[in-house]
């Protein structure tokens, strides 16, 4: 088991390295630069700026320098937000995004599995049809439609919740709801499909033939197997949600890190974009690792592969 | 369940093909039959055809062009009644004419014409009709019953009745026309991007699956790495690289959506390669291309078609997301995503700007999802 | 049918229907059935006869689209229509069941000790700790080696036979009155099959429960069962005491089943017959595992230096259990797998022939597979399937000519000409196997490797296929390499037999010699197992 974890960890490092490398060079090869977008300034100032950001050195050297700093946990200064380092930006923004994303994923997991297994147990009943209906709804309607409509109904029309902003009581509700809805829908569908399949399998027939109470058949023998696809789905999804959603953060005006990537790419804020890529990649790698370990714990068959 | 021993002794010779024997149902025919029984899928197909036609033909037959601006009709609400509303005609007429600095008598509305006696100290300049012509409300403006000295007469104008059943946007453009062009753009990007993802994914996946071994593991490792990169990263970088254009957007989306397809096709090819009927073909001495053509490709087709149907809504969503972030198609062209993002900004004053595009997009996405699910169930009945 | 005294399970007018997309399937049509305390009842029938569904209905295990009517009384309790909660006090305690698929019938996610303890925990109210000694005792009872260690194993760590033993142990946990065994040996190798049957017989003597034994193979229950019910298409066509039924079968179907075993022998070809296909020291090895941090790969010798010589008109039977390398050998001889050693066909050396060089020879060297469902492409019509070889080898044929050849080939295997426009899934297993044979025969080959061509089929269909293969051999002077684990079929088909175990030949010789006088201990075990289960008619 320990060897398994170590092996998975070892294979994550080259992945991260490749991602950082591709991102770095793609970004630098894109036309335009961080100092193009402003009013014409004195070339001398630009020279100084470039020197300050190490932009005067050849690209390979900049790359090595970036890697070196990265190894020391330094993501560099932001190009567009001059008073902040990228580390600072993440120190403020990341907790907000993680809080919203984490809550959303927890809600999606709990409600999704419960609804999905209910639907599977009552297959082709009204419970099943309504869960499938709600799930299709949740999967189909994109967050950038849900978000403004929720904001319109609960924020503007009824005024029950803040229509946007961060910090006020209840300001988390609408963003979390927007994020959780589609994930809950997907989890419910996955759980339903898996449960139906498990319920049809031979070992469930065995459990029933031996007169085990239905709660044992359900919780001991069905749930564990039917949650497996949900576990593998949740890895990358949790990583994506916790690193912030640009749509939700834009519409509700939340100071998370979701917007940094788009803003950074448009403003050629190299360090900010790279920082976002690194943070997202680390989250993806870490959550995939957690998922693999969890999966191996739940399913003894994969432990020895 | 019961299998009737249906074996004819060889001596019996060739029996005349009776109806049931000749009517062999292929798997596709079976699937088609199951699909037709799925009411949601059939309804979705109908909705899609209607919307696709609306996107194709709609902009040509719509009363307004998607880029025509009506300055007098900025942000008018959706209504089946024609604009201008009766109460608005006289004030609009008078305010437009007021700029001509002449004396205006009692304005009357008579069916589709407005008239008002006008007079001035000096002879009336015929060019004053332009003040009214310039307005979107009036056309065929003329001065009638001009007195001999040219100082008085009756100003006549036809009222242009314009319909904005979905209302107009912030610039005074007809929302219906914009939604129609938006449907066209969104569907086109969805279909083209999916087609691109299809070609890329099928080729890549089939190569990896067919050759297997080291080539396969390297190719799939590359796919894994692409998976760990935030997908939108590429799209944004591509758009930033080459500027915003229709072609680029669908290429960017296609280039990010082929990963799943390549995995599906690879998995299929790997399974098929191990199937006994492929081994049987090898034992017959069939060539690689013959095996691919007769055995592998026809059998991957089902899942690929299903996945492609589900890919289109994904591509449409991605385009909408890009437009939402301001990286999509450029004004005056529009897409449903762009319309929704404009609607979201105007949510406090003009809800119709959000509701109509959102409903349209939702309808398309629902229909595509239902159709995809229906296809999957039809081709893979064990899922039910 | 008169009531039978001291019947503990009395089934009357049991009827099972399934509602499917293609209409209603009437699986069981109002059957009567009795089980007395301590006796062994066999229910025999081919696939689709409703034998399993009868027991599923009694146990309340029908699929959700199944509807059941009639009665099934266990002692004084009516089982049909009983609420699940009350049914759960009977199943697993008084009536237990083991299944055909030992590979999937245990939950893969839990240790077997834990799964075996569950019936004790929920019927006897024991805790997991209290149940453990009993579980250990049961594992010893069914002959699981090293039970202290095995109790902590997961199902995937056990062999098929061991899993079936675990299932039996679990079934015995609460001292049941009735043990229903649904084809418990079908998925197992012959030697294991014999062991499991012996175990069941021994346990019944020791513990005295009644056994209901469901099987498609009439012959294996002769020594085992007291009474037999023969089922066909949802009806019981005949029932009676075992000996009576074997000696004096009344119903035609029973007679047919008894005669279904392939009979006859094959005479060896004259010594002057030329050797067509010859393999010398053929070796096939597979690499297993290997990779980053997991150590060097292990080489598995699937076929270990085997020499074979197949003469014109000869049938060599290759016998062995799963994993013995017999199928691999067959494919290696046709150069469908990379191998070492020398392979000659007629006067050509094939050892180094690549795919291109082999192509023209494929016409002469054909292969028929075990699984008639997997070996036909589901997207092609039967006509396209059987003429594919003609496209490769006789590309100049016109469409019309190809069609004529297809009709001819279909006729030769006893299929209607109109079948060529239909798709494989519309045919039964036996018909599909005929299509697969037609695909090989249309090329007029000299050598055909038959890889378990009858193993997936019902006995009565098996016999038809064996007869078809014999007729084709006689008509076209074919040479067969007949691969099978089924000694009865091999005996009827082959004139020469090779017995394989773990990639090596353990014994070879003329069929009669091998059967009458096996020398190697493994051959003897194999024969004994087969004789145990199939040859009582000669003894009785």
pLDDT tens digit sequence for B131-185: 777 777 777 777 777 777 778 788 777 777 777 878 888 887 888 889 999 999 8
B347 with A277: Cβ contact below 8 A: no
Q: Are B225 and A19 in contact (CB under 8 A)?
A: yes
Sheet holding C447-451, edge to edge: C365-368, C447-451, C479-484, C315-319, C496-501, C504-510
- Give the mean pLDDT of B191-218: 85
Protein fold of C39-55+83-258: Rossmann fold (3.40.50)
Q: For chain A, give every domain's residue range.
A: 2-71, 86-298
Residue in A31, A36, A145, A196 to test binding to B, most B beta-carbons within 10 Å? A145
Report the 10 Å Cβ neighbour count for A294: 16
A209 with C61: Cβ contact below 8 A: yes
- Whether chain B has a CB inside 8 Å of the CB on A134: the answer is no
Contacts of A13 in chain B (CB under 8 A): none
3-class DSSP state of C300 = strand
Half-sphere exposure of C211 (CA within 13 A, CB side): 28
Distance CA C309, CA C317 (A): 12
ipTM: 0.76
Contacts of A219 in chain C (CB under 8 A): none
SS3 of C204-251: the string is HHHHCCEEEEEECCHHHHCCCCCEEEEEECCEEEEEEEHHHHHHCCCC
pLDDT > 70: percent of chain C: 95
Q: Rounded to whole angstroms, what are the CA distances from C330 to C182, C279, C435, C453?
A: 33, 10, 21, 13
Higher-confidence position of C181 and A166? C181
B285 with C362: Cβ contact below 8 A: yes
C108 with A224: Cβ contact below 8 A: no
| Residue C508: predicted pLDDT | 92
- CB neighbours of C173 closer than 8 A, spacing ≥ 6? C116, C119, C120, C134, C135, C138
Distance CA B379, CA B308 (A): 14
User: Which chains are within 8 Å of C by 3+ CB pairs?
Assistant: A, B
3-class DSSP state of C374 = coil
Closest partner CB to C109 (pick from A123, A211, A224): A224
Question: Which candidate, C171, B81, B243, places its Cα nearest to that of A206?
Answer: C171
Checking if the pLDDT of C246 tops 90, the result is: no
User: Which chains are within 8 Å of B by 3+ CB pairs?
Assistant: A, C
Q: Are A81 and A155 in contact (CB under 8 A)?
A: no
Q: Are C416 and B21 in contact (CB under 8 A)?
A: yes
- CB neighbours of B100 closer than 8 A, spacing ≥ 6? B128, B131
**β-strands C496-501, C315-319 pairing:** parallel
Q: Rounded to whole angstroms, what are the CA distances from B330 to B10, B265, B324, B364?
A: 72, 35, 12, 22
Residue of chain C whose alpha carbon sits nearest to that of B214: C291
Contacts with C, B 293-322, CB within 8 Å: 294-295, 298-299
Residue A263: φ, ψ to 5°: -60, -45
First to last CA, chain A: 11
Closest partner CB to B298 (pick from C369, C379, C443): C379
Residue in B43, B230, B235, B376 to test binding to A, most A beta-carbons within 10 Å? B230
Q: How confident is the model at residue C538 (pLDDT cuts 50, 70, 90)?
A: very low
Distance CA C463, CA C499 (A): 22
Contacts of A141 in chain B (CB under 8 A): 362, 365
Element (H, E) at C504: strand C504-510
Report the 10 Å Cβ neighbour count for A186: 20
Distance CA C128, CA C151 (A): 13
Question: Which candidate, B170, B149, B58, B159, places its Cα nearest to that of B113?
Answer: B159
The separation between CA A94 and the C-alpha centre of its own chain, rounded to angstroms, equals 12
Question: Which candidate, C512, C492, C508, C509, places its Cα nearest to that of C500?
Answer: C508
3-class DSSP state of C307 = strand
| Residue A41: predicted pLDDT | 67
> Is the domain covering C275-279+309-534 a CATH 3.40.50.300 domain?
yes
Contacts of B304 in chain C (CB under 8 A): none
Q: Rounded to whole angstroms, what are the CA distances from C422 to B25, B291, C382, C525?
A: 7, 21, 6, 45
Checking if the pLDDT of B22 tops 70, the result is: no
Distance CA B303, CA B261 (A): 10
Residue of chain C whose alpha carbon sits nearest to that of B290: C392
First to last CA, chain C: 28
Q: For chain C, give every domain's residue range.
A: 39-55+83-258, 275-279+309-534
Average pLDDT, chain B: 77
Checking if the pLDDT of A302 tops 90, the result is: no
Distance CA C325, CA C505 (A): 10
Closest partner CB to C431 (pick from B6, B10, B21): B6
The CA-CA-CA angle for residues B273, B274, B276, to 5°, reads 105
Let me know how long chain A is: 305
| Least confident range of C22-26, C516-520, C521-525 | C22-26
Protein fold of A86-298: MetI-like fold (1.10.3720)
Closest partner CB to B225 (pick from A15, A32, A276): A15
| Residue C35: predicted pLDDT | 93
Average pLDDT, chain C: 86
**pTM to 2 decimals?**
0.77
- Whether chain B has a CB inside 8 Å of the CB on C393: the answer is yes
- Give the mean pLDDT of A55-66: 84
| Residue A54: predicted pLDDT | 74
Distance from CA of A20 to the nearest CA of B (A): 9
Distance CA C477, CA C489 (A): 20
Cis omega (within 30 of 0) on the bond before A141? no
Q: Are C373 and C432 in contact (CB under 8 A)?
A: yes
Q: Do C275-279+309-534 and C39-55+83-258 have the same topology in CATH? A: yes
- Whether chain B has a CB inside 8 Å of the CB on A217: the answer is no
- Whether chain B has a CB inside 8 Å of the CB on A284: the answer is yes
In the DSSP assignment, the letter for residue A75 is -
Checking if the pLDDT of C481 tops 90, the result is: yes
Q: How confident is the model at residue A38 (pLDDT cuts 50, 70, 90)?
A: low
| Residue C186: predicted pLDDT | 79
């Amino acid at each position: 088991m320990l060897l398994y974890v170590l092996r998975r960890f070892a294979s994550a490092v080259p992945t991260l390295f490749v991602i950082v490398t591709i991102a770095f060079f793609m970004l630098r090869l894109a036309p335009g630069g961080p100092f193009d977008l402003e009013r014409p300034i004195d070339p001398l100032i630009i020279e100084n700026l470039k020197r300050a950001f190490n932009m005067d050195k050849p690209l390979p050297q900049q790359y090595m320098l970036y890697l070196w700093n990265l190894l020391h946990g330094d993501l560099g200064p932001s190009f567009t937000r001059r008073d902040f380092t990228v580390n600072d930006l993440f120190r403020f923004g990341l907790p907000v995004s993680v809080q919203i994303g984490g809550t959303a994923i927890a809600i999606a997991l709990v409600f999704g599995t419960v609804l999905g297994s209910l639907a599977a147990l009552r297959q082709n009943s009204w419970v099943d049809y309504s869960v499938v209906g709600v799930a299709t709804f949740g999967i189909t309607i994109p967050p950038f439609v849900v978000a403004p409509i929720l904001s319109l109904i609960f924020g503007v029309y009824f005024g029950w919740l803040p229509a946007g902003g961060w910090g006020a009581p209840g300001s988390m509700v609408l963003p979390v709801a927007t994020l959780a809805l589609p994930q809950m829908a997907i989890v419910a569908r996955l759980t339903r499909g898996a449960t139906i399949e498990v319920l049809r399998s031979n070992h469930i027939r065995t459990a029933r033939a031996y007169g085990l109470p239905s709660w044992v058949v359900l919780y001991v023998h069905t749930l564990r197997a039917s949650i497996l696809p949900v576990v593998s789905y949740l890895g990358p999804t949790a990583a994506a949600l916790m690193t912030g959603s640009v749509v939700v953060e834009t519409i509700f005006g939340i100071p998370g890190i979701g917007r940094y990537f788009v803003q950074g790419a448009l403003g050629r804020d190299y360090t900010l974009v790279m920082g976002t890529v690194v943070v997202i990649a680390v989250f993806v790698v870490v959550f995939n690792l957690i998922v693999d370990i969890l999966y191996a714990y739940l399913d003894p068959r994969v432990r020895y592969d | 369940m019961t299998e009737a021993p249906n074996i004819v002794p060889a001596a019996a010779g060739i029996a005349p093909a009776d109806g049931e024997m000749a009517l062999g149902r292929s798997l596709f025919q079976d699937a088609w039959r199951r699909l037709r029984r799925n009411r949601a899928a059939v309804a979705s197909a109908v909705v899609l055809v209607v919307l696709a036609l609306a996107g194709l033909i709609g902009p040509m037959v719509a009363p307004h062009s998607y880029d025509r601006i009506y300055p007098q009709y900025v942000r008018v609400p959706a209504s089946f009644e024609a604009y201008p509303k009766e109460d608005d005609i006289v004030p609009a007429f008078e305010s437009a004419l007021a700029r001509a600095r002449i004396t205006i008598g009692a304005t009357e509305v008579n069916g589709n014409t407005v008239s008002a006696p006008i007079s001035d100290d000096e002879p009336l300049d015929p060019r004053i009709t332009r003040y009214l012509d310039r307005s979107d409300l009036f056309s065929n403006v003329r001065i009638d019953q001009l007195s001999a000295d040219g100082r008085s007469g009756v100003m006549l104008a036809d009222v242009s009745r314009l319909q904005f059943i979905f209302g107009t946007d912030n610039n005074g453009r007809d929302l219906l026309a914009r939604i129609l062009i938006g449907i066209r753009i969104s569907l086109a990007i969805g279909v083209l991007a999916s087609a691109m993802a299809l070609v890329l994914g099928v080729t890549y996946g089939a190569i990896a699956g067919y050759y297997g071994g080291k080539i396969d593991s390297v190719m799939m490792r590359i796919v894994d790495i692409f998976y760990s990169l935030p997908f939108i990263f590429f799209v944004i970088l591509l758009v930033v690289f080459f500027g915003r254009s229709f072609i680029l957007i669908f290429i960017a989306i296609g280039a990010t959506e082929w990963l799943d397809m390549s995995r599906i096709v690879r998995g299929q090819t790997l399974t098929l390669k191990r199937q006994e009927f492929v081994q049987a073909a090898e034992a017959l001495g069939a060539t690689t291309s013959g095996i691919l053509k007769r055995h592998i490709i026809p059998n991957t087709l089902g899942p690929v078609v299903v996945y492609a149907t589900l890919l289109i809504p994904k591509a449409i969503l991605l385009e909408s997301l890009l437009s939402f972030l301001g990286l999509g198609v450029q004004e005056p062209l529009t897409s449903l995503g762009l319309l929704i993002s404009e609607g979201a900004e105007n949510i406090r004053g003009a809800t119709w700007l959000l509701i109509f595009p959102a409903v349209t997009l939702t309808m398309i996405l629902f229909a595509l999802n239902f159709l995809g699910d229906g296809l999957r169930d039809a081709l893979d009945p064990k899922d039910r | 049918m008169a009531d039978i005294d001291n019947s503990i399970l009395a089934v009357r007018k049991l009827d099972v229907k399934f509602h499917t997309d293609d209409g209603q399937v009437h699986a069981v049509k109002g059957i009567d059935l009795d089980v007395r305390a301590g006796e062994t009842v066999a229910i025999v029938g081919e696939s689709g006869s409703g034998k399993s569904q009868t027991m599923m209905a009694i146990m309340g295990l029908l699929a959700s689209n199944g509807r059941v009517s009639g009665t099934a009384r266990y002692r004084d309790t009516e089982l049909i229509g009983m609420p699940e909660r009350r049914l759960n006090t009977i199943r697993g305690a008084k009536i237990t069941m083991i299944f055909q698929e030992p590979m999937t019938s245990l939950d893969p996610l839990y240790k077997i000790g834990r799964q075996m303890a569950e019936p004790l925990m929920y019927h006897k109210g024991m805790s997991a700790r209290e149940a453990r000694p009993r579980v250990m005792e049961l594992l010893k009872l069914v002959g699981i080696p090293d039970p202290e260690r095995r109790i902590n194993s997961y199902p995937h760590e056990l062999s098929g036979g061991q899993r079936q033993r675990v299932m039996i142990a679990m079934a015995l946990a609460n001292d049941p009155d009735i043990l229903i065994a649904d084809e418990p040996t079908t998925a197992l190798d012959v030697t294991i099959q014999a062991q499991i049957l012996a175990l069941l017989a021994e346990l019944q003597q020791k513990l005295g429960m009644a056994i209901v034994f469901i099987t498609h193979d009439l012959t294996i229950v002769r020594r085992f069962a007291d009474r037999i019910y023969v089922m066909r298409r949802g009806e019981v066509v005949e029932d009676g005491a075992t000996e009576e039924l074997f000696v004096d079968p009344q119903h035609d179907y029973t007679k047919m089943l008894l005669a279904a075993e392939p009979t006859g022998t094959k005479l060896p070809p004259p010594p002057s017959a030329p050797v067509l296909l010859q393999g010398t020291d053929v070796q096939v090895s597979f690499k297993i595992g290997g990779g980053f941090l997991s150590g060097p790969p292990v080489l598995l010798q699937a076929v270990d230096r085997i020499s074979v010589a197949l003469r014109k008109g000869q049938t060599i039977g290759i016998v062995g259990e799963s994993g013995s390398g017999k199928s691999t050998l067959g494919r290696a001889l046709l150069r469908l797998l990379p191998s070492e050693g020398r392979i000659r066909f007629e006067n050509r050396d094939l050892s180094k022939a690549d795919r291109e060089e082999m192509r023209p020879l494929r016409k002469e060297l054909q292969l028929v597979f075990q699984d008639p469902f997997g070996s036909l492409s589901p997207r092609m019509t039967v006509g396209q399937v059987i003429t594919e070889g003609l496209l490769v080898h006789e590309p100049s044929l016109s469409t019309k000519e190809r069609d004529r050849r297809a009709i001819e080939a279909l006729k030769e295997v006893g299929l209607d000409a109109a079948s060529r426009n239909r798709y494989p899934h519309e045919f039964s297993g036996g018909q599909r196997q005929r299509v697969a044979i037609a695909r090989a025969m249309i090329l007029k080959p000299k050598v055909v490797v038959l890889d378990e061509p009858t193993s997936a089929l019902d006995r009565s269909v098996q016999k038809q296929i064996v007869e078809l293969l014999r007729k084709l051999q006689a008509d076209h002077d074919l040479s067969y390499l007949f691969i099978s684990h089924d000694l009865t079929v091999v005996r009827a088909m082959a004139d020469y037999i090779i017995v394989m175990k773990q990639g090596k030949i353990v014994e070879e010789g003329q069929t009669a010699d091998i059967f009458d006088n096996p020398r190697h201990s493994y051959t003897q075990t194999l024969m004994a197992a087969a004789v145990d289960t199939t040859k009582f008619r000669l003894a009785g």
